[in-house]
Every structure is written in structure tokens, then in C-alpha cells.
Amino acid sequence: MSTLTDGRELLYFDDADTLLPPDRAADTRPPAPRPPVAEMRQDPLTGEWVSIAAARQNRVMLPPKHLDPLAPSTPANPTEVPSDYDVAVFENKSPSFGPDLAAAGVDPLHELAELRRIGLGRTATSVGRCEVVCFSPATEGSLSALPVARVRTIIEAWADRTAALSALPGVQQVFPFENRGEAIGVTLHHPHGQIYAYPYVTPRTQRLVASIESYGPTLFVDILEFERGSDRVLIEGRHFTAFVPFAARWPVEVHLLPHRHVPDFAGLTGEERDELALVYRRLLRGLDHLYDDPTPYIAAWHQAPVHEHRDDIRLMLQITSPRRAADKLKFLAGSEAAMGAFIGDVPPETSARLLREALARAEEGAA
């Protein structure tokens, strides 16, 4: 681990067969002040917390390749990463959460109960951490085009950071994700993802908790068995199964579950991480063979909260894309955006068939 001139942490994760030297250059940029920590405000209609992070308005927006802030530094382009690298992880310059943390020794379950109380005008400091994960030093490309060994390194980085961030005071949930494509709203073409360490349990996970409380603790076991018996299965391995869910909201939606209960990346065995590298890259390559150009997507790694429901909530990948045809996107309009009531444009069984055909084309192209 090293430190950037403004105090942010930077970590390098090397491929198993890396050719890079162990020594890394120091950040030589002039020190810059960090933005103020964001403020959270509670919506009393839902109980949800909204982080007001005004510094994000100053983010770099689709810069030219020679000014890529995630590329290794050069004299003409001093960047966030001083040295060449395989995979690099650093604290976000304009975070939605952190860098402040909760006071050490505070009971996390008491903090959760306090955050779930509804009131008017409630505010809190947006403690936590936001990190950027650079998948490659290349200024363009995608995770799907990387060698399996590199995807394995990325998984190792996710596991390491999940464990480290989960141990920080005030962190309640850790969320690795990737936004890919301008249709999703990316601001950098450089292949990268992010990790958010939230000071609360996210609304989506709270709804999952309610479902488990209604259905019972075997929800994930039963979902996996139900989906593996359907015609929506895309890939079935020894440790993981990928499928289009029965009630898919998006025209392209893929879920992936491990066959045994594991709450987060840190709990995966070496064999599971090896297979996941193969399966995940294969899925992404299939997505990119749906049409003649790459498919925009959000790859969201749902993990169990840090301090509760560890035995109930299983690590789960959910990939979604708004692309409902080669030249059409699904926009969240009135029903979806205002009421959260989704209307599916593509039957999940049709989506699964199209994805299986795309996976076959991707395999043929790789042969």
C-alpha cells in the first residue's frame, strides 16, 4: 500500500504471473485539499438516506485518452496511479461516503437502529469509503477482453477490499460494482469499477431482508433450485450457476449465485474464485455478442451486510442492461421511476435464449 499526496490510499494487486517490478513510484503531484465529507439526509417518506455529495459535480467527464486520469502516470499526464500496474485500487477523489469514519467502539447494531428511526430534518455525516478499481492500465477496453488471469486478480482485489472495508468503523455494507458504457452514464472510458462502503444497509437489501423474513431462511437455496430447473439457465458450473431470473425487470438481466452459502467475496475459496473468473468473463463476453457493438451494463455484486443477516443473505451478481434491441434502450419513465413498478419489455425466457445464442457466438469467436 502507498499514499497519494493528498493522503488517499493506493493499493496494487499483481497478477500471479506479473512481469512488473515490486517497487512502485511515489505520487509527485502537488498536494491538493480533499473535498468536505458529504452529508446524509433522511427521506421521511421512505426512511431512506440520501448522500448530498456536491464535490461529485467536479468529476472529470470523458477526457481524451492522453489525459486519462486512471492510466499510469507520465510526465505529461500525472494521474491517480503513479506506476504501471496490473490492477490498482485507490480512494475516490470525490467520494459519496467518507473518508471520515464512525467513532471506534460504537455498537454497529445500535447505529443501524438509530438510522432506521424516521424523523423530519434528520442528517448524518456520510461516513464510509468509496474506492476506484482499475482493471487494467489500458485507456480503453473492457473486463470481458482481459485474460482470465487478470479477472482472477480483480476477484482477489474485491475479496481483499471487502474484508478490509468491512472492518472499518461505521461500515454496514460493502458493494463492488461496474458501470460500463455511456448509456449507463460512465464518465471515464478506462476499464474500471468501484466499491462503496456504506454507513447503512441499502434499501434494496432491506427489501431482501423483508422477503427472507416473509418466506423463510431457505430463500436463496430454493431460488437456486427453482432456477436451475428452468429454461433460463445460461451457465452451470461446479460452484456457480448463471440464469435469467423468473421476474426479470430489465430487457437484459442475469443473476449468478454460488452453489453453497457464502455471504461475500471474502468467504470464497480459491477454487470458487478460479471458477468465478472463468464464468464471469464468459458472461460478459456473451453480453458483448448480443449485438454488433458492446452492450452497456451495470454489474452489481450484492453482498450480505457486515453486521447482520450473514447466515441468510448470499453473495449474488446481478447484471442489468437497458438495451432492449440493437437500437433501443429502456428508459425508466413514469411507472418505473415514480412508483418502482416495472414493466418488462422482453420475456425472460426470450432473453435467456438470446443470451445463450450470444454465449455460443462468443465461444466460437474465441476458438
Over residues 160-216, the pLDDT tens digits come to: 999 999 999 999 999 999 999 989 888 899 999 999 999 999 999 999 999 999 999
pLDDT digits (tens, 9 = 90+) for 271-290: 999 999 999 999 999 999 99
Instruction: Tell me the three cell numbers of residue 301.
Output: 455484486
**Are residues 176 and 315 in contact, defined by beta-carbon separation less than 8 angstroms?**
no
Instruction: Tell me the three cell numbers of residue 329.
Output: 434502450
Same fold, 2-198 and 205-366: yes
Torsion angle of alpha carbons 208, 315, 145, 84, nearest 10°? 110
**Are residues 243 and 230 in contact, defined by beta-carbon separation less than 8 angstroms?**
yes
Beta strands 123-125 and 39-42, pairing class: antiparallel
Class of domain 2-198: alpha beta
**pTM to 2 decimals?**
0.96
CATH classification number, 205-366, choose in 3.30.428.10, 3.40.1410.10, 2.102.10.10, 3.40.50.1110: 3.30.428.10
Angle between the 348-366 and 270-287 helix axes, to the nearest 10 degrees?
100
Mean pLDDT along residues 295-303: 97
**What gap in Å lies between CA 299 and CA 254, rounded to an integer?**
9
3-state secondary structure of 6: coil
Alpha carbon distances (Å) from 194 to 71, 176, 287: 16, 6, 20
pLDDT at 335 over 90: yes
Domain range summary for the chain, segments of one domain joined by +:
2-198, 205-366
Told to judge if 302 belongs to the known catalytic residues of this protein, a careful annotator would answer no
Other CB atoms within 10 Å distance of the CB of residue 240: 22
Give the chain's mean pLDDT. Answer: 95
The catalytically annotated residue of 189, 190, 192, 309 is: 192
